[in-house]
Amino acid sequence: MDLRIASTPSSTHASSAGLRPASSAKTGFATELQRALTEVSAAQNNASQLQRDIQLENPQVSLEETMVAIQKAQIGFQAALHVRNRMVQAYTDIMNMQV
């Protein structure tokens, strides 16, 4: 999951660290959420494929590579789950507001 922080023009450290500047952030929240979920899904699919390759004793796939891919997929899924929970909580808070 590739999370990038939009920086302000006065921030020189963010641009040197490879973070995307705010001017190039033209996508909306829904588009970024969809992209992040697609990346999480791809990481899970990659981890599953590597697991299958290990079980079939493919000599080109190492156990270490497989374990790292599984951990990346798990961390990405947990992050997506936390975002979902925060969004549900925000929706609930808004719906319970008195107007």
**41-57 pLDDT, tens digit each:** 999 999 999 999 999 99
pTM: 0.66
Looking at the structure of the chain, the number of domains it has is 1
Note down the domain range covering 33. Answer: 28-95
pLDDT at 8: 45
Q: Would you say residue 20 lies in a domain? A: no
Taking residues 54-69, report their average pLDDT: 93
The H-or-E segment that residue 15 falls in is helix 12-16
Q: Would you say residue 58 lies in a domain? A: yes
Name residues whose C-beta falls within 8 Å of residue 23's C-beta, 6 or more positions apart in sequence. Answer: 9
